[in-house]
Amino acid sequence: MNVDIAVIGGTGLNTIKGLTITHREMVNTPYGQPSSPLIFGEVCGCTIVFLARHGSGHTIPPHQVNYRANLWALKESGVKKIIAVAAVGGMRDDMKPGKIVFPDQIIDYTWSRDSTYHEGHQDVKHIDFTYPYCEEVRALLINGAKKAGLDPTIDGTYGATQGPRLETAAEIRRMVRDGCDIVGMTGMPEAALARELDLCYATCAVVANWAAGKQSEVISMKVIEENLKIGMDKVRKLLEESLPQL
């Protein structure tokens, strides 16, 4: 079945409320199996495909997600546009827990992940990645979030860390000096692989916590979960506004 739009759900978004599922498909790719079956369905009058990045039961840690298989499977199903939902830590003062952020830049601190489809002895290709996110999808999401009254932050640099542990306070201080505004573990190589496949990809980041050292308390999973619940309700509202436009 061919579907234009995909939503990749991250921590806190394993399913989409209100999605009427038409069918599930477990596909195989030259890179192995994606994290979960592709779930096809209708929501807000649109047909979409949903993929749970960390697996249906949230069992795959960020460094072990098969990003290549995930993006390949979506491309194969005809997808052109991807909304990637991701939990992040906030570093900038206006990026407090519960906030929705649409980053426009990335710095990659991950290592040892399969981060390209170009391997072996083919012609070497260098994708342009000056602007890592698709402006068209970003603009539609920003518009949708504003219409939904969510007061989103519409720029910011996403620092992608290796995980699965959270960062040290010194790592966060370094990332702030580098110019990062939010920190997450799944933004790369997902964005670069999408670009290699010519997919229009944008991230909707949900701030789950203040990044390490930004407040005196240590980061508690309970707080992350509570904030994600609030944030993901906002994502659902945003999807309601944005999907029909996409």
- Which residues contribute to the site for ligand HPA (CB under 6 A)? 87-89, 161, 166-167, 183-185, 208-209, 211
Q: Closer to ligand HPA by CB, 73 or 202: give it.
A: 202
Q: Closer to ligand HPA by CB, 3 or 182: give it.
A: 182
Residue 237 CB neighbours (<10 A): 17
Q: Count the alpha carbons within 13 Å of 76 in the hemisphere toward its beta carbon.
A: 16
| Smallest distance from ligand HPA to CB 92, Å | 13
| Smallest distance from ligand HPA to CB 182, Å | 8
Question: Distance between the two ends of the chain, CA-based, in angstroms?
Answer: 18
- 103: which 2 tokens? 């980053």
Query: Residue 132: which residues within 8 A CB-CB, separation 6 or more?
Result: 105, 106, 191, 192, 195
Contact of 212 with 171, CB cutoff 8 Å = yes
Q: Closer to ligand HPA by CB, 41 or 152: give it.
A: 152
| Smallest distance from ligand HPA to CB 27, Å | 27
Residue 101 CB neighbours (<10 A): 26
Which residue, chain included where needed, has tokens 């596909």? Answer: 27
Q: Closer to ligand HPA by CB, 88 or 232: give it.
A: 88
| Smallest distance from ligand HPA to CB 71, Å | 20
- 194: which 2 tokens? 């999408």
Query: What residue number has its CB nearest to ligand HPA?
Result: 89
Q: Closer to ligand HPA by CB, 146 or 173: give it.
A: 173
Q: Closer to ligand HPA by CB, 41 or 97: give it.
A: 97
What is the Cα–Cα distance from 75 to 175, expressed in whole angstroms? 32
What is the Cα–Cα distance from 141 to 59, expressed in whole angstroms? 28
Residue 85, classed as helix, strand or coil, is strand
| Smallest distance from ligand HPA to CB 16, Å | 20
| Smallest distance from ligand HPA to CB 205, Å | 9
- 111: which 2 tokens? 């290592």
